[in-house]
Amino acid sequence: MKAKKGGVRGKVLNVLIVALVLTGTALVAGIGDVSQGSSIMVRLFLGFLGAIIAIQIIPCLILFGAMVKGIVDLVRGKKEPEESA
């Protein structure tokens, strides 16, 4: 039986991603308090908008991780596999 890839590190990353999304949503949703006479629809719209913006953190982190991995591999001198034609 094989061990799952990621293990504890994967769980910690998942918890951090969820925490970032929730924090970002709460912070952006707080913008609704700035407007005068904000109704429930304004709060729902800004909360939805905040959730969309906060969820964009996930692809950003994936892209950043791939970029860092590429730079580290380049510095270590690992060559990319050559394609056979």
Residue 35 has pLDDT above 50, yes or no: yes
Residues 24 and 60: beta-carbon distance below 8 Å: no
Total domain count for the chain?
A: 1
In this structure, is residue 84 part of a structural domain?
no
> Is residue 30, in this structure, part of any structural domain at all?
yes
For residue 81, pLDDT over 80 is answered with no
Q: How far apart are the C-alpha atoms of 21 and 70, rounded to whole Å?
A: 26
Looking at residue 1, its pLDDT comes to: 43
Q: Identify whether 83 is part of a domain.
A: no
Domain annotation covers residue 2: no
DSSP three-state, residue 29: helix
Using left for φ > 0, alpha for ψ between -120 and 50, and beta otherwise, residue 7 falls in left
**84 has pLDDT over 70:** no
In a domain, 27, yes or no: yes
Structural domain boundaries, residue 31: 10-76
More confident residue, 37 or 68: 68
Q: Is residue 49 in some structural domain?
A: yes
20 domain-assigned: yes
| Residue 52, in any domain of the structure | yes
pLDDT-derived band at 57, boundaries 50, 70, 90: confident
